[in-house]
Amino acid sequence: MPVEVRLPTMLRSQAGGESTVTIEGKTIGEVLRALIARHPGMAGQVLNADGSLHRFVNVYVNDDDVRYLSSLDTPVKDGDQVSILPAVAGGATS
């Protein structure tokens, strides 16, 4: 099932400058693995070596965070929009 994957600025150079790509898959895991197969430079930035979702990346399906759904097993359907966003962490401490 084709889904549109929206890429953050930090990953666009790995996708030839594209801000969105269309990827086939039935689950978020399949979509991300297909994305990495097409653009191998994204591998360490999206998934860990063990295949789990990188902790500093947030993935949304139609505005729902997959970490609160079924993570990489979250199903996707034709026409869904997947967004990959870098996590914001850190900051000043007092």
Helix, strand, coil content of the chain in percent (nearest 5): 35, 30, 40
Examine residue 92 and state whether it is found in any structural domain, yes or no. Answer: no
- The reply to whether the predicted model has a pTM over 0.85 is yes
CB 84 within 8 A of CB 31: no
CATH number assigned to the domain comprising residue 73 = 3.10.20.30
Domain that holds residue 77: 2-86
* Cα 92 from Cα 25, distance rounded (Å): 40
Examine residue 93 and state whether it is found in any structural domain, yes or no. Answer: no
Examine residue 36 and state whether it is found in any structural domain, yes or no. Answer: yes
| For range 9-27, the mean pLDDT | 95
pLDDT at 93 over 70: no
Examine residue 73 and state whether it is found in any structural domain, yes or no. Answer: yes
Examine residue 16 and state whether it is found in any structural domain, yes or no. Answer: yes
| For range 19-32, the mean pLDDT | 97
Examine residue 60 and state whether it is found in any structural domain, yes or no. Answer: yes
Please count the structural domains in the chain: 1
Examine residue 7 and state whether it is found in any structural domain, yes or no. Answer: yes
